[in-house]
Structure 1
Amino acid sequence: MAIGADLDALQKECNGGNGASCYELGVLYDNARGGAAQDYQKATELYSKACNLGNGAGCSNLGFLYDNGSGVAQDGKKAAELYAKACDIGSGGGCYDLGLSIRAKARRQRGRKRSRKIPQKSVRNEAQANLRPL
């Protein structure tokens, strides 16, 4: 069934073990579409079920919720694990999200190293400026 299909029919298929239906239903709750009210907690449950049923897009979308703290506690490590699982399943989107996650982590680490150096350099420049003759 396509996104926007009857919520009850999707829920029935999801309950029957159809990972794609769980994913589609999660998208509807995540984005308040197809008659579903926005409910991140419900979307989290549905994406989790889809992921456990082998739906890579469900794993990737669940990772996105963890990355952004939407309906769950923000957890970049868990998000990266879910992106990796999505990628392993064969989701191109999961592989892409994993790459973005790795790049963002590397940037944060570089930023922390720089921020430790900046105050020392600034203090040194300030001290030198104060020692210069007028």
Structure 2
Amino acid sequence: MRFILVCHFNSNSNSAETEVERPMFPSPTGHEYDAIDRLQAELPTIIDDETQQQVDDYRDACNDGKGAMVACFATAEFLSMFERKHQEAFDLFENTCFRPYKDKSSNGIEVDGTKAYPPACFNLAKMLMTGKGGVTVDRKRAYDVFDRGCRAGHGGACHIQAKMLLSPPGALGKDIPYDPFKAMDLYQDVCDLGDSVSCFTLATMLLRGDKINKQARNATPAEVRGEEPVMQRTNEDDRSANAAEDFEYIPRDPKRAEALLQSACRTGAHAPSCFNLAVMYENGDDGVPKDSEKAEEYKKKTEQAVHTLGGL
């Protein structure tokens, strides 16, 4: 059995030989959503009278960005999803992410001396990343807004901020920091809130170590421990770590990874986490002894999760 090692960043090439040759991620244009918008425009928009009244009430309560944060956020979501007025939605998300400290709206969180509605910051940052609706792509500002949303308590913002921190240095632009240790802290915080994907992602980092390339999607326990050579299988890129990369490798910590995988398997019925625990107990690892009973237990949990959720 193999560990599932899923990297939560992508690159446009194999492991770069030099920093100069490492490509940037392509910048989105915002037109990626045009086809979806055209399709939605052709579909009938059916909103019953009660729902329409709720929408109208939210618009009134928002009062052109001067009203309650939650009303403006709900209005922005409606504008983007149903009316496809993305720029208007963007303006309201921005308004709701950045309010004066004196703003009295409920659910506003103080950040840097101002008030933020965390879900609005999350949506604003996503639009800045993707250019949806013709919004100018600005990854540095997107990173800063994800950071703001994260500090306001939005787990999704923390998770994506962590993914950005793990992107190869310079791949998202020179202004985006590369900091795997801060990413680990963010994943741990969101994991503690019950997010199984963050638990799994952090566990993956702690299992990979310095023998396996960070873009490899799987490895055997013996490979990650250096007990056997990292094999390059048919139709697969070289999975061995590349000394020419200037990435920082996280020291292996299987015991901590075990606890994270247990949390993800237990709270989220997360099949990959249950599977990796089965592998860990079947093979044993540093600080984690072999345990055939636990291996069988987590094999069954994996099967249950796959059956329930439809796959790994």
TM-score, normalised with respect to structure 2: 0.33
CA shift, 1:18, in A, is 0.5
Aligned to 2:166, the other structure's residue is in SS state helix
Q: Deviations over 1:27-85 (max 9, x none)?
A: 11112213222211111111111011111111111111101143522221111111122
Q: Distance in 1 between matches of 2:94 and 2:177?
A: 25
The correspondence for 1:13, drawn from 90, 93, 96, is 96
Q: Distance in 2 between matches of 1:48 and 1:86?
A: 13
Provide the aligned length of Structure 1 versus Structure 2.
114
Q: Distance in 1 between matches of 2:140 and 2:199?
A: 23
Q: Which amino acid aligns with 1:56?
A: G
CA shift, 1:110, in A, is 4.9
Q: Give runs of aligned pairs for residues 66-81 of structure 1, distance below 5 A.
A: 66-69=165-168, 70=172, 71-81=175-185
2:157 aligned with 1:58, yes or no?
yes
Map of 1:114 onto structure 2: 226
Distance 1:88 1:52, change over 3 A: same
Structure with a larger share of its residues in helix: 1
CA shift, 1:14, in A, is 0.4
Q: Which amino acid aligns with 1:78?
A: K
Q: Distance in 2 between matches of 1:26 and 1:107?
A: 30
Map of 1:122 onto structure 2: none
Map of 1:82 onto structure 2: 186
Identity of aligned residues (%): 18
Is 1:66–1:79's contact at 8 Å kept on the other side of the alignment?
A: yes
Q: Distance in 1 between matches of 2:135 and 2:187?
A: 26
Distance 1:98 1:38, change over 3 A: farther
Map of 1:100 onto structure 2: 201
Q: Which sections of structure 1, spanning at least 5 residues, go unmatched?
A: 119-134
Q: Which amino acid aligns with 1:82?
A: L
Q: Distance in 1 between matches of 2:165 and 2:189?
A: 14
The correspondence for 2:144, drawn from 45, 69, 74, is 45
Q: Which amino acid aligns with 2:205?
A: A
Q: Which amino acid aligns with 2:183?
A: A
2:122 aligned with 1:23, yes or no?
yes
Q: Which amino acid aligns with 1:34?
A: G
CA shift, 1:86, in A, is 2.0
Distance 1:107 1:58, change over 3 A: same
Is 2:190–2:198's contact at 8 Å kept on the other side of the alignment?
A: no
Distance 1:34 1:97, change over 3 A: farther
* Higher RCO (C-alpha under 8 Å, 6+ residues apart): 2
Is 1:80–1:98's contact at 8 Å kept on the other side of the alignment?
A: no
> RMSD of the TM alignment (CA)?
2.5
TM-score, normalised with respect to structure 1: 0.71
Q: Deviations over 1:76-124 (max 9, x none)?
A: 111111112222344x3xx313422321342234547639x86xxxxxx
Map of 2:250 onto structure 1: none
Is 1:10–1:22's contact at 8 Å kept on the other side of the alignment?
A: yes
Is 2:188–2:202's contact at 8 Å kept on the other side of the alignment?
A: no
